[in-house]
């Protein structure tokens, strides 16, 4: 008789989200909330997530905490809040993830998304079109990414 191999552990999905123009508008006051529709998703997120930003950690933390009370653990000391170079932050997060995990990156910064795509990292990329100034900009990004 043969022994069946153990099933593979389920994939752990990890989400990395840009702060500026993805979670909160960058052009509005620092007391603005999350983009419409994101509050529902963020409150119910059952997968681990990180926030990456070009802002200083103090400013980023203040914007997150003022946007939604359930984001209060995103203090400047939080290991889930990454400030500075977004590509380096993504590499750091990838290095911490277990082997059976998948990273999903959401941002409105086309240059960063293209840069990450060019690094041949095993990451699913998502363009946050809700922050786009025009429909044509969003369409251009989607055409570049083949849909």
pLDDT of residue 139: 61
Indicate if the pLDDT at residue 132 is higher than 70. no
The answer to whether the beta carbons of residues 91 and 118 sit under 8 Å apart is: no
pLDDT of residue 147: 46
d(CA 123, CA 112): 13
Q: What percent of the chain has pLDDT over 70?
A: 84
pLDDT digits (tens, 9 = 90+) for 96-125: 998 889 999 999 998 999 999 888 788 999
pLDDT of residue 2: 76
Tokens standing for residue 128? 């946050």
pLDDT digits (tens, 9 = 90+) for 29-82: 545 788 877 877 887 778 889 999 999 999 999 999 999 888 999 999 999 999
Alpha-carbon distance values, 17 to 5, 6, 36, 38, 127 (Å): 36, 34, 15, 11, 10
Average pLDDT for 76-99: 94
Indicate if the pLDDT at residue 87 is higher than 50. yes
Rounded (10°) CA dihedral 39, 147, 95, 77: -30
Average pLDDT for 117-135: 81
pLDDT of residue 44: 79
pLDDT of residue 5: 80
């Amino acid at each position: 008789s043969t022994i069946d191999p153990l099933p593979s552990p389920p994939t752990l999905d990890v989400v990395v989200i840009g702060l500026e123009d993805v979670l909160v508008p960058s052009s509005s006051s620092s007391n603005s909330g999350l983009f419409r529709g994101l509050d529902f998703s963020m409150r119910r997120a059952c997968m681990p997530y990180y926030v990456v930003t070009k802002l200083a950690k103090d400013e980023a933390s203040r914007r997150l905490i003022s946007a939604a009370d359930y984001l209060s653990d995103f203090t400047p000391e939080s290991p889930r809040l990454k400030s500075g170079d977004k590509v380096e932050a993504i590499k750091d997060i990838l290095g911490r993830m277990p082997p059976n995990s998948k990273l999903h990156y959401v941002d409105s910064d086309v240059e960063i998304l293209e840069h990450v795509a060019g690094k041949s990292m095993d990451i699913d990329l998502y363009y946050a079109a809700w922050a786009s100034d025009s429909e044509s900009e969003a369409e251009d990004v989607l055409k570049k990414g083949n849909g």
